[in-house]
Amino acid sequence: MSKKIIATTSLAGCFGCHMSILDIDERILQLIELVEFNKSPVDDIKKFTKQVDIGIIEGGCCNSENVEVLKYFRENCNILVSLGECAIMGGLPAMRNGIPVEECLQEAYLDGPTVSLNKEKILPNDPELPMILEKVFPCHEVVKVDYFLPGCPPRADLIWDALVALVTGNEMDLPYEVVKFD
Amino acid sequence: MNNTVKFKIDGNIVTAEKGQTIVEAAHAAGIYIPTLCNFKGVKPKGCCRMCSVKINSRYMTACTTPVSDGMEVENNIDELVDMRKSIIELMFVSGNHFCPSCEKSGNCELQALGYRYQMLVPRFPFSFPQKGIDASSPKIMKDQNRCIMCKRCMKTIKDENGKNYFAFKNRSNKVEVVLDAEMGKTMPDDLAKLAMENCPVGSIIYKEIGYNEPIGTRKYDKTPIGSEIEV
Ligand code: SF4
Ligand code: SF4
Ligand code: FES
């Protein structure tokens, strides 16, 4: 059997979900028997070099770059998985969704109690910087997503069970203890 | 006169006492019907629809419907399971439920129902409504982001004269369950704790203690809600 190809990315997330992937511990040795990694922070491949079987998305979409990367993943992956609360429902970054972007930037760069070096009162405006979206979007509200693995972070056992099922083509049978929203 | 009633839930014969509701009779017989707004010792109001069952192909709330002889109740059928799941999903998307940053997480009945019905993602779009938090009471915080308006606090948290600490404010889609500002200032400690306990979700948070139970030891970490009832 040829190895399945996996890609991963972190959008508006904290890399906690990626840490949780590593948390499968020594099973990672079994994993590399089963799969090959393509574009991912794990191997630092920046661009897809071939069509990928499973794309794993951490984090929701909070800026224009997140949207671009997510669409890039959708185009290049047969199956897309939202991994973790931020990808599934925006997560902690989406706590800003009730607050206008202007007010967020104002607080972060001008008025916040720890902002003292920004003497000229500049809001980041370099054209290289991605634009902040009006609110944080769950991934499946931007592109079609095929599977959802909740948790903050998702339990390593959940990731393992789900990955093995996806790679081997078996039904996902997720035990009660591993499907959690926190 | 005979005081017992015989009826069926999903084809199983259940013996109950006259005057019991379907939920009471089912739970006494070890059959779980999910509930959320229903609260022991309080007259049921039937406002959350979690307990919806089918009787003669009509939807009824099992927490408000009394049992009657020969009644045939459908409970654990695909259609109802999906309907209940959709009700849970609606509650999630109509508020702001950031479980990772919620003190009630692990002990929350809404979340536990999400687990029991394996809600991996709601089928509805998130609405991210703008809601506030009232932290003016020295004892509790009232977080509107998480309130499901079940009225449990309104019905159970009262002062010695029977006056309510919690009440509805506004109408229609602006409606909120709020804490009386004056009464909130002098709320006794035990009542504040009870308010948090009686609230099924994390909308009433007892101040200054939080996250004191490690993950893995909380109420719904290992066992699904309802398993204490099921035989
Ligand atoms: S109230 Fe329950 S469902 Fe809502 S955020 Fe808190 S734990 Fe999650
Ligand atoms: S605060 Fe809690 S108990 Fe009161 S109505 Fe809201 S959800 Fe129900
Ligand atoms: S529990 Fe019956 S309607 Fe809420």
pLDDT digits over B74-116, tens only? 999 999 999 999 999 999 999 999 999 999 999 999 999 999 9
Flag whether the ipTM exceeds 0.85.
yes
Q: Can you tell me the distance from the alpha carbon of B17 to that of B111, in angstroms, rounded to the nearest whole number?
A: 32
How is chain A split among helix, strand and coil, in percent rounded to 5?
A: 35, 20, 40
pLDDT for residue A113: 85
Contact B71, B78 (CB under 8 A): no
Residues of each domain in chain B carrying CATH 3.10.20.740: 7-76
In this structure, CATH architecture of domain B7-76: Roll (3.10)
Residues of chain B with CATH 3.30.70.20: 127-222
Does A1 have pLDDT greater than 80?
no
pLDDT digits (tens, 9 = 90+) for A121-172: 899 999 999 999 999 999 999 999 999 999 999 999 999 999 999 999 999 9
Tokens matching residue B121 = 């993602």
Residue B113 Cβ < 6 Å to ligand 2: no
pLDDT of A116 > 90? The answer is no
**Element at A175 (helix H, strand E):** none
- Digit-coded pLDDT (tens) for B5-61: 999 999 999 999 999 999 999 999 999 999 999 999 999 999 999 999 999 999 999
Instruction: Tell the residue nearest (CA) to atom 3 of ligand 1.
Output: B111
pLDDT (mean) for A16-41: 95
Can you tell me the distance from the alpha carbon of B38 to that of B19, in angstroms, rounded to the nearest whole number? 16
Q: Please indicate if any CB of chain B lies within 8 Å of the CB of A149.
A: yes
Q: Which atom of ligand 1 is nearest to the CA of B92?
A: 3
Integer angstrom CA distances of residue B136 from A21, A159, B4, B14: 42, 42, 50, 49
Interface of B with A in 110-139 (CB under 8 A): 111, 114-115, 118, 120-122, 125-126, 128-131
Chain B CB within 8 Å of residue A141 CB:
yes
Q: What is the pTM of this model?
A: 0.96
Residue B111 burial (CB count, 10 A): 26
- Does the pLDDT at position B164 exceed 90? yes
Enter the DSSP assignment of A45. B
Structural domains for chain A: 4-96+135-178 (3.40.50.700)
Share above pLDDT 70 across residues of chain B, in percent, rounded to a whole number: 100
Domain B127-222: give its CATH code.
Answer: 3.30.70.20
List, for residues A38-57, the tens digit of each pLDDT value.
999 999 999 999 999 999 99
